[in-house]
Structure 1
Amino acid sequence: MTAISEGMPREAGRLGKFSWALFDWANQPYFTVVTTFIFAPYFTSFVASTPAEGQAYWGYTQAIAGALIAILSPVFGSIADAGGARKPWIVFFSSLCAIGAFSLWWAAPGMESGIFWILAGIIVGTIGVEFSIVFNNAMLPSLVPAERMGRLSGFGWGLGYIGGLIALFIVLLGFSLPEVPLFGLSKVTHEPDRITGPMAAIWLIVFIIPMLLFTPDRPANDLPKSAAVRQGLKSLMTTLRSLKNYRNIIFFLIARMFYNDGILALIGFSGIYAAGLFNWGTTELGIFGILINFFAIAGCFIGGYLDDRLGSKPTIVISVLGLAFASVGVLSISDGQVLFGLPAAMPVEEGALFASPAEMVFMVFAFIMGLFFGPAQAASRTLIARMAPPEKAGEFFGLFALSGKATAFVAPLMIGIVTSATGQQRPAMIVIFILLMIGAALMSFVREPAHK
């Protein structure tokens, strides 16, 4: 039985499927160069008054965006499930993301007025890209039979990794490393950092064009949007009520909420913490991001082997504990000290890249973080596939996606509160460690079905 329903394309052609997968390539640079490795650390270190204030502001923006995404995702997901055309919604939300990302160009160093407009741009951009992903993902069942969805989805995921790496290389080789950056950008006013917003916006708009042209979409229907929302929410409530019969899955989804929040926060705030601690600029952060991505790709291959050999649950627990260990390692580093007290020299001006002992220790823990990030996420997806009843696979995958969004604002909010209360960046890493450990502990209540 396939997932292709009556009235939908039997199967998209190769160009249509490739163009759909290219959407991951199109949106990934926003996450890579804007919200993780380049613009976010720049904002916290140079736009805000202090790194601690900047980290707090960034935590609040991600919390607000995450809360709105969690509240509205079921609504927009229900519209997608109602069977209407998805491309108009993708165009709308991608345009919203592009507008928000492009506005980041005006995030000047030390700006006193207008900073809340920049924060609004970050929120708008993040909401736009996340909702565009919701509708693009909803196109997948109409493109290939169910037995081949994994391959197409994985191909898109891989393209996304590559797109993010290429975007980082462009930032480094085109804007950061040259004495005179492309387009004559000024390093004094941090234009190479600020250009990442417009760059991600243009990249997104250009590379969604093939999907709009070549990927088949569902035909528009006459169902009013309000009716689609009611129908989708009714289906969601039915699924939620039925969860009482699937306690094992409930334990897993709750555990995932905790460790997934910790994972996303660790990736998002580790670069921000390093930028504030070591005074890293675009070059250091870009290379840091590239190295992390290479280790993450390697971790995915290793994690896939462990998943098949040991099972999804052990792979998740090992990965989450590995990430918790990495977070403690990062937490152990402060100004002039590593491992909670050992003296370690900090970087000096004009020093070699990552040459100081403190930076070297940080990079070791960052590589550990990269190795375990991919396996934790990939094995989670495998586990829900093994646990969900075949006749309810679609519903439980939808609930799995919702569980990743519902509490996505918690970690950034807690980090923002802790940073504001202490006036320091370092204590916020404790929040990440606690979330990871709670998630790992809750996994002990999950029973993985036999799959061999």
Structure 2
Amino acid sequence: MTPAQLGRARRAWYVYDWANSAYVTTTSTVLFSPYLTAVAEAAACPGGVGEVVRDGATTCPVPLSVLGIPVAAGSLALYVVTFATLLSAVVLPAVGAVADRSRSPRRLMTGFAWVGAAAAAAMVFVVGDRWVLGAALQLVASLCLGASLVVYDSLLVRLAGPDERDRVSSRGWALGYAGGAVLLAANLVLLAQADSLGLDEGSAVRVSLLSAGLWWGAFTLVPHLGLRRLDGEPAVVALEGPDGAAPASTARVVAGSLGQLVRTLKGAPAFPQTLLFLIAYLFFNDGVQTVIAAASIYGQQQLGFASSQLVVAILLVQVVALLGALAAGWIAQRTSARATILGSLVVWMAVVVAGMVIPAGEFGLFLALAAAIGLVLGGTQALSRSVFSQLVPVGREAEWFGLYQSAERGTSWLGTLVFGLVFQLTGSYRPAIASLVVFFVVGGILLLRVDVARGRAQAQAGTGAGHSAGIQDADGGAAPRGRGR
């Protein structure tokens, strides 16, 4: 591609972050979990019959029946996210393997995006006691978002050389925060003016959910058209036919991709630093993502805030996160990316402890916590993405990004599972939020053991641990290579 064509392709790539971040912020982070919780509780306790007050919060003690298993209505949304992430752990690495062999990863990415956007828009029909529909749509949207982002992340290698990836990836990441903030601000206005528009709060929330799905689907058209020049030879050659030609059928491509994925997983222990970082990230990102996913439920159900107040808090997180990520990048250049992440984990632990003791109805304190979350959110995720990008084995980027996304997307399964179980056992969200400290502690301890320089050398050599001898620990201050959330 000429420089002008490359510039247009990069701008089209940025727009996908703008597209999907509106769904991540409005639907996944702020509105849908508490809304689905309210729908589930209304189904379990119709008309409020049987509701009780526990620790200042009104809850329904009557469990739902999910395949014969009793599930607390207040835990439903968290369990759906947990199940979606467990499926992602299986599905997303396979998606990455297929993407490495696809002649049109652009179509693969946008196909997943449009299915996810359709599911997101269909959330407008989750009314009354339709909690099953809501859970199914949340599952589909979460899986499709993760699958599309596996391909999206891997395209960075085709759009920028190593020296340019910090700048290119950071621009996409920043535009994502901007897109999320713009739609969230518009939905804040809608929620605040619902009465004057003749809408109740539930109807305003459903319209906001619809807007996020439409936004995601409409703006995905830009990368679908703008990345056409990336179509052509796959990053990894698929299994050849007898005549040396590329496989004639999609089935053969998928079979070859899955076979390579199995070989990659078998060979993964040869990259011990990459695996160690991924495990550390799985733990501390469990904590990060569970705080994000549970914040709206905690604020509404435990602290008694309205949906419009939650939108204000998350909008504050979006704005501060952009500034925090820039600050984290500056700090990382003067220390190291790993040290900066470790410092942010200390702040996360303080936020969780403070959240556990905040009194109900204290919106000012809740906003202060939101600002603290924003301060470390962007940096934690951007720098984590940056470190991992240096540890990915050369030539298998999409496969390894699939593993990364399976740990990252929609909250990681262990954190939401623990949060949901603690609530179900205690009937209060306060001990549930406190339980998340463990994830930051374990993730930080594991991260201390990661040797970034050695892992980078192993990944670049593509031959694993056997080439690590004599490498000095020079965990430099890598600038953000990640988009993050």
Are the equivalent residues in 2 in contact too, given 1:25–1:162 (CA < 8 A)?
A: yes
Query: 1:165 pairs with 181, 184, 187, which one?
Result: 181
Q: In the alignment, residue 191 of structure 1 is paired with which amino acid?
A: S
Instruction: Name the residue aligned to 2:157.
Output: 141
1:30 aligns with 2:49: no
1:270 aligns with 295
1:73 touches 1:131 (CA, 8 Å); kept in 2?
Answer: yes
1:69 corresponds, among 67, 72, 88, to 88
The superposition leaves residues 47-83 of structure 1 with CA deviations (integer Å, 9 ceiling, x where unpaired) of: 5346574440111110121112111111111111013
Residues 114 and 220, structure 2, Cα contact 8 Å, conserved in 1: no
Q: Is the 8 Å Cα contact of residues 47 and 107 (structure 1) preserved in structure 2?
A: no
**Residue number among 437, 441, 444 corresponding to 2:445 in the alignment:** 441
Q: Distance in 2 between matches of 1:405 and 1:207?
A: 20
Q: Which amino acid aligns with 2:309?
A: E
* Cα distance in 2, alignment partners of residues 103 and 392 from structure 1: 35
Give the root-mean-square deviation of aligned CA atoms: 2.7
| Shift in Å, 1:291 | 0.8
In the alignment, is residue 233 of structure 1 matched against residue 258 of structure 2? Answer: yes
Match of 1:375 in 2: 379
- C-alpha change, 1:47 and 1:392, in structure 2 (3 Å) is closer
> C-alpha displacement at 1:233, in angstroms?
3.3
SS in 1 for 2:30: coil
* 1:201 alignment counterpart: 213
* Letter of the structure 1 residue corresponding to residue 135 of structure 2: L
- From the superposition, tell whether residues 241 and 268 of structure 1 become closer, same or farther in structure 2 (CA, over 3 Å): same
Retained in 2: the 8 A contact 1:10–1:142?
no
Distance 1:370 1:154, change over 3 A: same
Hey, what's the Cα distance between the residues in 2 that align with 1:77 and 1:391? 12
- Using the alignment, how far apart are the partners of 2:153 and 2:385 within structure 1? 15
Number of equivalences = 416
The amino acid of 1:177's aligned partner reads: A
Q: CA shift at 1:412, angstroms? A: 1.6
Deviation (angstroms), 1:401: 4.2
Unpaired runs of at least 5, structure 1: 1-8, 338-345, 348-357
Distance 1:447 1:20, change over 3 A: closer
Distance 1:100 1:400 in 2: 24
CA distance in 1, matches of 2:144, 2:393: 33
Residue 331 (structure 2) aligned to one of 301, 306, 314 = 306
1:120 aligned onto 2:139: no
Distance 2:396 2:224 in 1: 30
Q: Report what 1:292 is aligned to.
A: 317
Q: Deviations over 1:144-167 (max 9, x none)?
A: 444333322221111110000001
The corresponding residue for 1:43 is 36
Q: Closer, same or farther in 2 for the Cα pair 1:320/1:277, shift >3 Å?
A: same
The whole-number CA distance in structure 1 between the counterparts of 2:90 and 2:188 is 37
Partner of 1:342: none
Quick one: structure 1 residues 44 and 165, their matched pair in 2 at CA, closer, same or farther if it must change by over 3 Å? same
Task: Report the equivalent of 1:4.
Answer: none
Is residue 42–residue 281 contact of structure 1 (8 Å, CA) maintained in 2? no
Contact 1:295 1:370 in 2 (8 A): yes
Answer yes or no: is the 8 Å Cα contact 1:97–1:124 preserved in 2.
yes
Q: Is the 8 A contact 2:93 2:400 kept in 1?
A: no
- Closer, same or farther: CA 229–57 of 1 in aligned 2, 3 Å: same
Relative distance call for 1:92 and 1:51 in structure 2 (3 A) is farther
Q: Unpaired segments of 5 or more residues in structure 2?
A: 43-57, 61-71, 234-245, 454-473, 477-485
CA distance in 1, matches of 2:198, 2:145: 27
Cα distance in 2 for partners of 1:68, 1:399 equals 12
Match of 1:429 among 413, 430, 433: 433
* AA of the residue aligned to 2:109: I
- Report the equivalent of 2:363: 359
- Percent identity between matched residues is 24
Q: Secondary structure at the match of 1:195?
A: helix
Alignment check: 8 A CA contact 1:55 1:425 kept: no
AA paired with 2:180?
G
Q: What does residue 355 of structure 1 align with? A: none
Distance 1:407 1:117, change over 3 A: closer
Give me the TM-score of the superposition, normalised by structure 1. 0.83
Q: What secondary structure, in the 3-state scheme, does the structure 1 residue paired with 2:193 have?
A: coil
Structure 1 residues 190 and 408: CA distance shift in structure 2, 3 A: same
Cα distance in 2 for residues equivalent to 1:149 and 1:269: 32
- For residues 57-136 of structure 1, what are the structure 2 equivalents within 5 Å? 57-108=76-127, 111-112=128-129, 114-136=130-152
1:78 and 1:228 in contact (8 A); partners too:
no
Return the offset for 1:138: 3.5
- TM-score of the pair, normalised by structure 2: 0.78
Cα distance, 1:149–1:230 mapped onto 2, change above 3 Å: farther
Specify the code of the residue in structure 1 equivalent to 2:191: S
